[in-house]
Structure 1
Amino acid sequence: MPSETLVMIPPILSDARVFDAQIRALSRQHAVLFAPTCRGERMEEIASQILSWAPTKFAVAGMGMGGMVAMEILRRAADRVTRIALISTSPQADTPEAAAAREPHIIAARAGRWADVLQHEINSTWMAPTADKVGLVRQLTEMGQDMGPETYVKQARALQRRKDQQATMRNITQQTVVICGRHDGQFQLKRHEFLAELIPYAQLQVIDEAGYLPTLEAPDEVTALLQEWMKAPLMLRS
């Protein structure tokens, strides 16, 4: 039986470098495809684009904004998804206050104050105390600079307008893992616990020495968890 294809979807202002360790390890046994989130101002558009080129059946792993795109893919085409990994993400829509809070940063990006926007989006206090914060901020800044302000505005709009996916989560029948860092300052542990409780039979995996970007803060641990998840039997429940 051929191995499953894995589609990996990144957080805001990130490219394939955010999954570098995982792609290198998992690609030894699986076809691994990276799915950018830079084309479209709605989660629905981004999900539709990924579905247009993804295989007929595939596993999906998404982190942050990428996890939200993965949820939209599942809502639209659950029959095509074999399993799902949700990393440092949330099923809830932006509150009106959170959506409004994005607006000044969108305006700043359009006005040329890109360095200010990057400083806001790359928050080292969301990382684990033991993380190499200087190195991580440098790496994240490089990705953000490469992505640019136009991409940021599209992604911020998609985050503002995203649907609440709690009902989608309750209907998941696929093998599911929820991965988070104990020191995640963006989505705190109780929110990851809430997400895992929504999903029937989901496994919650908490990485002690990681914050909101566990693929970079604890790459070996995340890689091992994803390898275990990809090896687990498919769950075919009605």
Structure 2
Amino acid sequence: MQFVRINGVSLHYRYRPRAGRPTIVFVNSLGTDMRIWNAVARQLSDDYACVFYDKRGHGLSELGEAPHRIETHAADLAGLLNHLGVAGAVICGLSIGGVIAQCLYGTHPHVIEGLVLCDTASRIGTAEMWNGRIRAALSDGIASFADGVMEKWFTPDFHEKRGDELAGYRTMLTRQEPAGYAAACAAIRDADYRTTAAAIRVPTLCVVGDRDGSTPPELVEGLARSIPGARFEIIAGAGHIPCVEKPDRLAALIREFMTDDMQRRRA
């Protein structure tokens, strides 16, 4: 395991360099850790340098002083990339990870060569919704709403046919520290990049599962429409976490993006 202290917190990360190959940085969603990318990584890490990390307050990374903002997460990621000597990368962010990627483009555009925004938006949910989630996490525990989250993360087919995996991902969620989960909820609640998406000037792919119950296809399509030249793709048979439910399809879309969209930019 690899750890580094960035902005006062110890961040857990994994870096697989590939000399002369483009770098993809994977940013996980709320209530998960970097293991959600494992199946995608198996298909891409031979051909691309890959960075995975647990954002602060998640997985094995420290929370630090809370509350904090999406800008805090973006500064953490910028610091990690600087530590690794990664000067330019494609940032692939899921849900809050996609919000962090949008923020990073605004604060450190020089480190970004492209964006893959998965099941995310420029603004997610309402203050009332997030405040309710924060109260529940801190008072009743994450397990009190975990089943509802699973319904948004995964399709009915996943629930029916992949019950052992479902139990594992539910455990990943419920073992999350409530303070870290609540701090990330507050950061999402206060984030709004609807007025800045039009300023993005790097190749961008927006992807969503057709059964996503957290950021539905029409919301993600709206994000794609707001970013000049962005591609929009729907993954059939996937909920909010396509890197778990349909990793082959997501990996194929990322590879296509890297070989077509990114190469056209470099030409």
Given the superposition, is the C-alpha separation of residues 149 and 125 from structure 1 closer, same or farther in structure 2, using an over 3 Å criterion? closer
Q: 2:252 aligns with which of 221, 224, 233?
A: 224
Contact 2:150 2:170 in 1 (8 A): no
Give yes or no for contact 1:93–1:165 (8 Å, CA) kept in 2: no
- Shifted more, 124-133 versus 40-49: the winner is 124-133
Which of 32, 38, 55 in structure 2 is aligned with 1:37?
55
Corresponding residue for residue 79 of structure 1:
110
Structure 2 unaligned blocks of 5 or more = 1-18, 57-62
Among residues 164, 181, 184, which one is paired with 1:155 in the alignment? 184
Aligned to 2:121: 90
- Conservation of the 8 A alpha-carbon contact between 1:124 and 1:133: no
- Which residue in 1 is equivalent to 2:4? none
- Where do 1:1-238 residues align within 5 Å? 2-38=20-56, 39=63, 41-54=68-81, 55-92=86-123, 94-108=125-139, 113-120=141-148, 122-131=149-158, 132=161, 134-162=163-191, 164-234=192-262
- Residues 233/93 of structure 1: CA separation in 2 closer, same or farther (3 Å cut): closer
1:117 Cα deviation from its structure 2 partner: 4.3
Give the strand-richer structure, 1 or 2: 2
Give TM-score scaled by structure 1 length. Answer: 0.88
1:220, distance to aligned residue in structure 2 (A): 0.5
Equivalent pair of 2:25/2:90 in contact (CA under 8 Å)? yes
TM-score (norm 2): 0.79
**Kept after mapping to 2: 8 A contact 1:94/1:161:** no
Report Cα offsets for 1:26-71 as digits up to 9, x if no partner.
Answer: 1101111113222463111111011012122111000011111111
Kept in 1: contact 2:242–2:250 (CA 8 A) = yes
| SS of the residue 2:116 aligns to | strand
Distance of 1:93 and 1:130 partners within structure 2: 25
Quickly say closer, same or farther: Cα 1:159–1:166, change in 2 above 3 A.
Answer: same
What secondary structure sits across from 1:89 in the alignment? Answer: coil
CA contact (8 A) 1:37 1:155 kept: no
Distance 1:181 1:233, change over 3 A: closer
Cα separation, partners in 2 of 1:129 and 1:42, compared to 1, 3 Å: same
Q: Tell me how far apart the structure 2 counterparts of residues 202 and 175 of structure 1 sit (CA, whole Å).
A: 7
* Greater relative contact order (Cα < 8 A, sep 6+): 1
Distance 1:189 1:171, change over 3 A: same
For residues 101-144 of structure 1, the C-alpha deviation after alignment (integer angstroms, 9 at most, x for no partner) is 223224325xxx34214344x33255323224523431222322
Contact map agreement 2:25 2:89 (CA 8 A) in 1: yes
Q: Is contact 1:10-1:65 (8 Å) kept?
A: yes
Question: What is the CA RMSD across the aligned residues, in angstroms?
Answer: 2.2
Give ranges in structure 1 of 5+ residues lacking alignment: none
Secondary structure, aligned partner of 1:147: coil
Deviates more, 1:128-137 or 1:206-215: 128-137
Does the CA contact (< 8 Å) of 1:125 and 1:185 recur in 2?
yes
Q: Percent identity?
A: 24
Instruction: Give the number of equivalent residue pairs.
Output: 232
